[in-house]
Amino acid sequence: RDVASFLLTWMRDTIKAMLTKSCPTNLLEMKALHSDFNRFQNEDVPPRLEMKNQAMRLFDEIQNLTTDPSHLSIEDDFLPHNLS
């Protein structure tokens, strides 16, 4: 639950930040944006993908240990298809 919650919060915050960005008007701004994108892609995304994979593995493990998955009380926001 904690991993999924953290991941969802990070995705929502990142999407909000991306939506507020404006298009660069000169080469220096474009280079800065490119640098920011590379940092984001190489430093921010990989740990979050690992968190997502961990959440998926935990969900599968919980389902495998449960005899009746319908009794699981997992909020919809934390289901695997909502972490994509």
Per-residue pLDDT tens for 9-61?
988 998 888 888 788 889 999 999 999 999 999 999 999 999 989 988 988 88
Q: How confident is the model at residue 69 (pLDDT cuts 50, 70, 90)?
A: low
Q: How far is CA 69 from CA 62, 76, 80, in A?
A: 9, 14, 14
Which pLDDT belongs to residue 47? 93
pLDDT of residue 42: 96
d(CA 24, CA 50): 31
